[in-house]
């Protein structure tokens, strides 16, 4: 059976239109980075900025081929001592900016396959409750890197 392109065109246009309409709903992720890790260290962290889309969403998890496990973590102060603990999700309000940064919320990469080396990149797959998966390229910076100021 032969397919005629003129028969497929309306279906393709409809699918592309639906994808474009949905794109405004999805959060936008920018500035993804990690610090380089020393040899022999099997944990690292990833930081990024999420700007909410047209509707509220929640970051509920992440994965990477570079790590056995990726968890959402937050740093909280208890009795004057900063403690890191896992968290279930990060709320992403519609149109609002949420930063995952050192000394705050971040993604912990556990069981790294090799040290993170400055200049490398790797892919993180973020899981959002409403908008689904989103792949993000993470840039590895030097071990003492600080967040870039974004406005």
* HSE-up (13 A, CA, CB side) for residue 86: 9
Which residue reads 């149109």 in tokens? 95
Instruction: Please name every residue paired with 99 in a beta bridge, in sequence order, or none if there are none.
Output: 49
Average pLDDT over residues 46-56: 97
Q: What percentage of the chain has pLDDT greater than the value 70?
A: 81
Q: How many other CB atoms are found less than 10 A from the CB of residue 45?
A: 20
- In this structure, CATH architecture of domain 25-141: Sandwich (2.60)
Average pLDDT over residues 60-85: 93
Confidence of residue 23 (pLDDT cuts 50, 70, 90): low
| pLDDT at residue number 62 | 98
Average pLDDT over residues 110-139: 97
| pLDDT at residue number 60 | 98
Q: Which residues contact 11 (CB under 8 A, 6 or more apart)?
A: none
Q: Which residues contact 42 (CB under 8 A, 6 or more apart)?
A: 110, 111, 112
String of b and e for 63-94 (b: at least 16 CB within 10 Å)? bbebbeebbbbeeeeeeeeeeeeeeeebebee
Please state the domain extents for the chain.
25-141
């Amino acid at each position: 059976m032969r397919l005629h392109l003129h028969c497929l065109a309306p279906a393709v246009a409809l699918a592309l239109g639906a994808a474009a309409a949905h794109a405004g709903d999805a959060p936008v992720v920018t500035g993804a980075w990690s610090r380089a890790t020393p040899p022999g260290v099997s944990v690292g962290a990833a930081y990024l900025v999420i700007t909410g889309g047209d509707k509220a969403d929640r970051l509920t998890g992440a994965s990477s081929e570079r790590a056995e496990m990726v968890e959402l973590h937050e740093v909280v102060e208890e009795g004057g001592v900063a403690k890191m603990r896992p968290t279930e999700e990060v709320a992403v309000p519609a149109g609002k900016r949420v930063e995952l940064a050192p000394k705050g919320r971040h993604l912990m990469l556990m069981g790294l396959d090799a040290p993170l080396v400055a200049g490398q990149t790797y892919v993180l797959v973020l899981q959002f409750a409403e908008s689904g998966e989103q792949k993000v390229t993470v840039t590895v910076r030097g071990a003492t890197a600080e967040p870039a100021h974004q406005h």
